Amino acid sequence: MLKSLADQFQGIFSKLAGKKKLSEENISDAVREVRLALLEADVNYTVVKMLVKRIKEKALGEEVIKSVTPGQQFIKCVHEELKELMGGDEVDLDLSGQLPFVLLAGLQGSGKTTTAGKLALLLKKKYKKKKPLLVACDLQRPAAVKQLQTLGERVGVDVFVSGTTDPIQTAKSAKKFATEGHYDAVIVDTAGRLHIDEQLMEEVEGIKSIVNPQEVLFVVNATIGQDAVNVASEFDKRLEVTGTILTMLDGNTRGGAAISVKEVTGKPLKFECVGENLEDIQLFNPSSMADRILGMGDTINLVRKAEEHMDEEEAKALEQKIRKSTFTYLDYLKQIQMVKKMGSMKSLLGMLPGMNQMKQMEMDDKQLFKIEAMILSMTLQEREERVELVPSRRRRIASGSGTKIDDVNRLVKSFKQAKQFFKNMPNMKQMQKMFGGNASWH
């Protein structure tokens, strides 16, 4: 995701790295390259023109700071302007009222139905809605209703399906059903439509007038670039959208939609879908997106994932074990299982600053699974290091885990080295700061 744009920005910044100070000449050169990079990323031309003007003015007006390099100063300027362009701060979902409705609209193929399932799961987990309802108002696509029902089963959410082929009548029935059924939030999935299709636009306007939603979210495929912005503007004129959801950010995303849509529509980016799994949806954070565009990783969402999946008491207990170098294979196993819940190793490592430049590194989950299998093949005494892993025990572990004796030997060696490393580490607090408060999850 956004790799090409991030690589270009890294190239621009590296050219400034050798400069002794920022001058009008080298700032103009850098801004010119920023402009080309953004246009290649399919960012709206008017937005690019305005953004580079702000960056140049900010960079020229910046007070020289002795402790940072010219390159770092320029990066700071670009980051701040990108962040402001995309909204500055997160804008959360509005679920006010006794029975809030969320209406999803957008083009065909934008991923609305899948996004409806992801939002339903998010309502349960993040927003603590015990009884959300999904409503199938996409009656244009033959498989849409069945797809929504399948998603509802997977996330444990009821799906309202009417016997009619009229989406407006479906919306009326769904509103009555949701009220009588004491649901606490409703997500309405609608058919994909072109903004120039008058009949279908009138249809979604009719659905909106019936359910009177707190949120009208425009769902857009992030790979289509600045065309998304033009379409978003047209949908906003007809539906008064309250925000945008970017989907397929794990695909070949150039960045145009993410950078342009807030500035052009005036409506906030609210969520982003970053993978195929139903858990792969998160609040859109402008600072996080600016980090990713500039190739600086995504530590904001990495720390959030860690906090979401790690129990605070367990984290403190493990930190104490690490400090005293008394953590065991059993502790290691718990960490591996926690990391697996957070997502693939490739995606997690990609969120760390600088990892995008380590192209030679093979970032897959095979090694992690192999280590887990070896530890699971140990007895409880072995996992707690109450007995020595002598050769006969290592052979049994290798046989039980489907690995080789060399793999077990490497695990034992690396585990001992890790314990020695933490034992010799002089300042654990510094590591805590680096990883957002909890060193132990890393």
Structural domains counted in the chain: 3
Tens digit of each residue's pLDDT (9 = 90 or more) over 343-386:
665 666 555 555 555 444 444 567 778 888 999 999 999 999 99
Q: Do residues 291 and 307 share a domain?
A: no
233 and 178 together in one domain: yes
In this prediction, residue 245 carries a pLDDT of 93
Q: What is the pLDDT of residues 46-78, one digit of tens each?
A: 888 999 888 888 888 765 555 557 777 788 888
Q: How confident is residue 442, by pLDDT bands cut at 50, 70 and 90?
A: very low
Residue 429 class from Cβ within 10 Å (0-12 exposed, 13-18 middle, 19+ buried)? exposed
Assess if residue 221 is contained within a domain. yes
In a domain, 96, yes or no: no
Residue 179 lies in a domain: yes
Q: Indicate whether 142 belongs to any domain.
A: yes
The tokens 């859109």 sit on which residue?
A: 284
Phi, psi for residue 367 in degrees, rounded to 5: -65, -40
In a domain, 251, yes or no: yes
Residue 241 is predicted with a pLDDT of: 93
Same domain, residue pair 146 and 218: yes
Rounded to 10 deg, the angle between the 24-40 and 70-85 helix axes is: 40
Indicate whether 213 and 133 sit together in one domain. Answer: yes
Residues 111 and 135 in one domain: yes
Looking at residue 400, its pLDDT comes to: 94
* Confidence band of 116 (pLDDT split at 50, 70, 90): very high
For 263-322, how does the pLDDT look when each residue is reduced to its tens digit (9 = 90+)?
888 889 999 998 888 988 999 999 888 888 887 766 676 667 766 666 667 666 766 776
Asked if 157 and 133 sit in the same domain, the reply is yes
Domain boundary among 85, 114, 131: 85
pLDDT tens figures, 177-232: 999 999 999 999 998 877 667 888 889 999 999 999 999 999 988 777 667 777 88
What is the Cα–Cα distance from 397 to 381, expressed in whole angstroms? 13
The domain boundary residue, chosen from 57, 85, 113 = 85
Of 296, 327, 345, the one marking the end of a domain is 296
Question: Minimal CA–CA distance to 200: which of 140, 129, 248, 281?
Answer: 140
| Cα–Cα distance, 330 to 336 (Å, whole number) | 10
DSSP 281: E
Summarize the confidence of residues 122-132 as an average pLDDT.
93
Query: Does the pLDDT of residue 424 top 90, yes or no?
Result: no
Please check whether residues 351 and 267 belong to one and the same domain: no
Same domain, 358 and 385: yes
- 360 and 399: one domain? yes
Structural domain includes residue 116 = yes
- The enclosing domain of 180 has a CATH number of 3.40.50.300
C-alpha dihedral (193, 194, 198, 204), degrees to nearest 10: 30
Say yes or no: 37 and 137 in one domain. Answer: no
Residue 442 counted as domain residue: no
Q: Indicate whether 116 and 234 sit together in one domain.
A: yes
pLDDT at 314: 67
439 located within any domain:
no
CATH at residue 374:
1.10.260.30
Say which CATH number the domain at 43 has: 1.20.120.140
What's the domain range around 336?
Answer: 303-434
Q: Does one domain contain both 216 and 362? A: no
